[in-house]
């Protein structure tokens, strides 16, 4: 129990009022930050899904081109074989080339069937990409609007936070450094609540009873008294004088 002036008690009370607002505003701004992060993550997730669809579309387009190229190669072989057929002199050569033409025609049929399947897949993915792009652009616009609204609302809170931080700093200049250190330590231990009122012998920080003699000392207001249970700095306001 250390002697302390009533002015210092009053300063500690004001310091606590500022600290309470600082803790509240920091919590609000942290929620804002988290919300903005969630919105950005949501857009990124949707964007990644869209990119994956675009990659699938590129693969489908490439498959179509590969099939078309294979068909062209087989076509060229068929044409070449047909031209050679006109110039063969033996029946054996003729039969070999004829079989070659027939094999290539079968291969062409396979490639053409494959190409039709690839075209169907490509069109399906293309439609999905176009739809997803529309949804992505709409979502992006909505999220950007929401983030702007959030930013606008949080601007006042940031300005208010700066005011309370400045106020707390000014109060601290008139307090003994040891008191400031003790205040900061207790505040950190109790989620920003270091100085509390006592009503009817009850600490308003932990809501536990304090000894009658200690309550009397708190009422006198000339000593730095900590709650025996929660270690917060105690003060008393005389209701009749308020």
Domain of residue 128, CATH code: 1.10.287.1490
Which of the pair, 221 or 216, is modelled with greater confidence? 216
Whether residue 4 is contained in a domain is answered as no
Report the alpha-carbon distance of residue 230 to residue 208 in Å, rounded: 9
Comparing CA positions, the residue from 159, 164, 158 lying closest to residue 16 is 164
Do both 206 and 167 map to the same domain? no
pTM, full prediction: 0.67
Query: Which pLDDT score, from 0 to 100, does residue 118 have?
Result: 94
Which residues have C-beta within 8 Å of that of residue 42, sequence separation ≥ 6?
Answer: 139, 143
Of 157, 174, 191, the position where a domain reaches its end is 174
Whether residue 1 is contained in a domain is answered as no
Do both 104 and 195 map to the same domain? no
pLDDT tens digits along 169-208: 999 888 888 899 999 999 999 999 999 999 999 999 999 9
- H helices present in the chain, as ranges: 6-85, 91-173, 177-189, 212-220
Do both 32 and 147 map to the same domain? yes
pLDDT tens digits along 137-165: 999 999 999 998 888 888 989 999 999 99
3-state secondary structure of 90: coil
Do both 110 and 26 map to the same domain? yes
Whether residue 117 is contained in a domain is answered as yes
Question: What is the CB-side half-sphere exposure of residue 161 using CA atoms within 13 A?
Answer: 14
Q: How much is the mean pLDDT over the chain?
A: 91
Of 174, 194, 216, the position where a domain reaches its end is 174
3-state secondary structure of 86: coil
Pick left, alpha or beta for residue 207 (phi over 0 → left; psi -120 to 50 → alpha; otherwise beta). Answer: left
Supply the range of the domain harboring residue 202: 182-241
pLDDT of 242 strictly over 70: no
Query: Which pLDDT score, from 0 to 100, does residue 152 have?
Result: 84
Q: How many structural domains compose the chain?
A: 2
Find out whether 36 and 199 touch, Cβ atoms under 8 Å.
no
Whether residue 3 is contained in a domain is answered as no
Whether residue 8 is contained in a domain is answered as no
- The residues with which 2 forms a beta bridge, in sequence order, are 224
Extract the tokens encoding 201: 């012998």
Of all residues in the chain, the percent with pLDDT exceeding 70 is 97
Do both 49 and 119 map to the same domain? yes
Whether residue 27 is contained in a domain is answered as yes
Do both 24 and 143 map to the same domain? yes
Do both 46 and 138 map to the same domain? yes
| Strand arrangement, sheet containing 233-235 | 202-203, 195-199, 233-235
pLDDT tens digits along 124-138: 999 999 999 999 999
């Amino acid at each position: 129990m250390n002697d302390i002036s009533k002015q210092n008690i009053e300063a500690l009370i004001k310091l606590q009022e500022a600290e309470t607002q600082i803790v509240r505003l920091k919590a609000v701004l942290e929620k804002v930050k988290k919300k903005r992060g969630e919105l950005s993550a949501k857009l990124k997730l949707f964007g990644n899904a869209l990119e994956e669809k675009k990659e699938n579309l590129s693969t489908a387009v490439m498959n179509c081109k590969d099939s078309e190229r294979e068909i062209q190669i087989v076509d060229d072989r068929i044409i070449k074989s047909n031209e050679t057929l006109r110039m063969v002199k033996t029946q054996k050569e003729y039969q070999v080339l004829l079989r070659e033409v027939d094999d290539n025609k079968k291969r062409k049929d396979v490639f053409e069937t494959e190409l039709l399947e690839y075209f169907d897949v490509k069109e399906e993915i293309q439609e999905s990409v176009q739809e997803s792009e529309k949804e992505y652009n709409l979502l992006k616009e909505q999220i950007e609007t929401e983030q702007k609204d959030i930013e606008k609302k949080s601007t006042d809170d940031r300005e208010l936070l700066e005011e309370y931080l400045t106020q707390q700093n000014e109060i601290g200049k008139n307090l003994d450094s040891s008191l400031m250190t003790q205040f900061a330590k207790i505040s950190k231990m109790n989620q920003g609540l270091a100085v509390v009122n006592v009503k009817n012998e009850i600490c308003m920080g932990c809501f536990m009873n304090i000894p009658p003699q200690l309550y009397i000392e708190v009422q006198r207001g000339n000593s730095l008294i900590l709650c025996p249970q929660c270690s917060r700095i105690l003060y008393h306001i005389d209701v009749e004088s308020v």
